Amino acid sequence: MAKLRLLRRAFPLLIPALLALALASPANAQEAVLELDSGQTQVNFTLGDVLHTVHGTFHLKRGTVKFDTVSGHASGLVVVDATSGNTGSGARDHKMHKDVLESTAYPEITFTPQQVQGQVLPQGDFKVQVLGTFTLHGASHPLTLVIQAHLAGGQLSADTQFTIPYQSWGLKNPSTLFLRVNDTVDISIHAVGQIKLASYH
């Protein structure tokens, strides 16, 4: 009976404490906004063939990534100019744009972030995964980016590499009778941008 009376007295005090704890987490939540610098961000690609390896670049048009520092929920859009693809060979680039990318009809390559997994540190080096949707040639595909990053004074530099199975994604393989190229292309990105934090309820 003594224990029951003690619980009855403690119960009214417990409810306000639980409510305070529940309300504290959203108040501490922060939204991080990353604005990529298109002038400093580099998008490189590598395509191998039987004779040599082809290297090329694309230009970033714009990129904004927003994410909740507590839940990791992300949004935003990263846009690459598909028409800017350049390998240094006019004939090869013409074939790439006309027959493979069809960049006149599909001028943008995009990545839509949906979730950030891992801890984004306020300073120094860290590693995260960003889950999202990659859209190429008008078709969307799930993609997870493993990102190695460094943050100092609000400026972020980050690197990621991934492989696109472009042929299985429905794009034409540019191989000819005398030249065979891989059916996948390796992408390497070095991104630079500014991160801002804002508390919200």
| 136 token code pair | 């190429």
Give yes or no for residue 13 having a pLDDT over 60. no
Average pLDDT, the chain: 86
Residue 166, domain member (yes or no)? yes
- Smallest CA-to-CA distance from 32 within 61, 60, 72, 62 is with 72
Look up the CATH number of the domain holding residue 41.
2.40.128.110
- Work out how many domains the chain is built from and give that number: 1
Residue 171 identity: L
21 assigned to some structural domain:
no
CA–CA separation, 196 and 200 (whole Å): 13
**Over the stretch 106-154, which tens digit does the pLDDT of each residue have?**
999 999 999 999 999 989 999 999 999 999 999 999 999 999 999 999 9
Is residue 8 situated within a structural domain? no
Domain around 123:
29-199
The answer as to whether 115 is a domain residue is yes
Residues of the chain with pLDDT > 90, as a percent, come to 69
Cβ atoms of 24 and 70 closer than 8 Å: no
Is residue 32 over pLDDT 70? yes
Does residue 17 lie in a domain region?
no
Q: Is residue 33 assigned to a domain?
A: yes
* Percentage of the residues of the chain whose pLDDT score is greater than 70: 82
200 pLDDT higher than 60: no
Residue 198 has pLDDT above 50, yes or no: yes
Higher pLDDT, 56 or 180: 56
pLDDT per position as a tens digit, 78-115: 999 999 999 999 998 999 999 999 999 999 999 999 99
Question: Is residue 76 a part of any domain in this protein?
Answer: yes
pLDDT of residue 30: 83
Residue 14 belongs to some domain of the structure: no
**Is the model's pLDDT at 6 over the cut of 80?**
no
Q: Indicate if the pLDDT at residue 11 is higher than 50.
A: no
Amino acid 152: pLDDT: 95
- CA dist 74 → 40, 43, 63, 91 (Å): 23, 22, 13, 40
